[in-house]
Amino acid sequence: MIDGNAPLISVVIPYYNRQGTLLRALDSVRMQSFQNLEIITVDDGSTDGSYELVEQYRVEFPELKVTNLQQANAGPSAARNAGVRAARGKYIAFLDSDDSWRPEKLKFQIERMNQEPDLMLVGTNYMVLLDNGDSRIAFPKQQQFLRGSYRRMLFKVFVCIPSTLVDREIFTKYGIWFREGKNHAEDSLFFLQVARHFSIGRLHEPLTCIHKQMYGDDGLTADMKGMLRNDIDNCRILAREPDHCGKRLNPVLAQFLIGWMYLKHVKRVLITMRQNTSS
């Protein structure tokens, strides 16, 4: 049950040794035009002073209602789940500790979800902003609002975690959580499990800023072989394990998708090689 005095949105920010980027992420939440929110940060076993940095931020901006949790290092899925369990809002907004938002991001998402109550997850377009000044919009040509299709999402996931606003009932009522122990493609698996039964969509405005290449650059996304293994693992999970409605992915389609994943991996490698050559 949602507390009547609770904020509408709970912003969940997991972090691990992100002392250099956490303030940018927190400031982007503080500057949101929509302010009926709380912030739940989850320290996933940092050793670089990140936790103390957030504690200082809490003291400096008490009006932000920051809850700073700590856990032994268990990966991004466990950290996000811990944040959701502590959340009080009707909606959960996820932000990675090295990314940021435009000031109107949450406002536009809430407006869309109010206009279309069947939506359970809304993402935004996003911009990749690199330290060298390079930038690009992820989806430069798209309609004003794009609804997701589970079948299409199997081949191309069209949202990213830092851009999403999710109805908390996805977790508390329907039991769809981030799969703990997966450090790659856990977000893709979550999106697919949601899209199988619920309406999701993406705003065309690039309201989320990703401050790294989407793969081959930094952190977990630098391990492209790990990404491939976990993309394949997702197909097998969807084919092997029934969801909350008892449905599984067709095994023939799953095998076709695994072949598709190998082609995507080759494309990622080629793009990364081109990035490294041009940098």
DSSP string, 7-39: -SEEEEEEESS-TTTHHHHHHHHHT-S---EEE
Q: What would the pLDDT profile of 79-99 be if each residue is shown by its tens digit? A: 999 999 999 999 999 999 999
For residue 103, the model assigns a pLDDT of: 98
Q: Which of 145, 16, 19, 158 has the alpha carbon at shortest distance from 80?
A: 16
Mean local confidence (pLDDT), 40-56: 97
- Looking at residue 133, its pLDDT comes to 76
Residue 135 dihedral angles phi and psi, to the nearest 5°: -150, 155
CB 26 within 8 A of CB 53: no
CA gap 125, 87 in Å, rounded: 25
Residue 222 binned pLDDT confidence (cut-offs 50, 70, 90): low
> 261 falls in which pLDDT band (50, 70, 90)?
confident
Which DSSP letter does residue 131 get? T
Tokens of 201: 């969509």
Phi/psi region, residue 269 (left: phi>0; alpha: psi -120 to 50; beta: rest), is: alpha
Q: What is the mean pLDDT of residues 57-80?
A: 96
Whether 214 has a pLDDT exceeding 80, the answer reads no
Distance CA 25, CA 42 (A): 13
pLDDT at 219 > cutoff 70: no
Q: What is the average pLDDT across 121-125? A: 98
**pLDDT (average), residues 174-201:** 93
pLDDT of residue 131: 78
Q: Which pair of tokens denotes residue 26?
A: 């927190």
- The reported pLDDT for the residue numbered 150 is 92
Q: What is the pLDDT of residue 205?
A: 95
Q: 278: exposed, middle or buried (C-beta count within 10 Å: 0-12, 13-18, 19+)?
A: exposed
Instruction: Report which of residues 226 and 193 the model is more confident about.
Output: 193
According to the model, what pLDDT value does residue 220 have? 43
Residue 1 has pLDDT above 60, yes or no: no
- Comparing C-alpha atoms, which of 8, 180, 10, 35 is closest to residue 103? 35
Q: Note whether 125 and 109 are within 8 A (CB).
A: no
**pTM of structure:** 0.89
Quick one: pLDDT at residue 216?
Answer: 47
Query: β-strand 66-71 against 37-44: which pairing, if any?
Result: parallel
- Tell me what pLDDT residue 279 has: 56
Measured torsion, CA atoms of residues 38, 42, 47, 51, in degrees rounded to the nearest 10:
20
- Indicate if the pLDDT at residue 36 is higher than 90: yes
Given a cut of 80, whether residue 68 has pLDDT beyond it is yes
Average pLDDT over the chain, rounded to whole? 90
The answer to whether 18 touches 50, Cβ cutoff 8 Å, is yes
The pLDDT, as a whole number, for residue 183 is: 79
Could you tell me the pLDDT band of residue 270, with boundaries at 50, 70 and 90?
confident
Would you state the pLDDT for residue 17? 97
pLDDT in tens, 127-174: 998 877 788 999 988 788 999 989 889 988 899 999 999 999 999 999
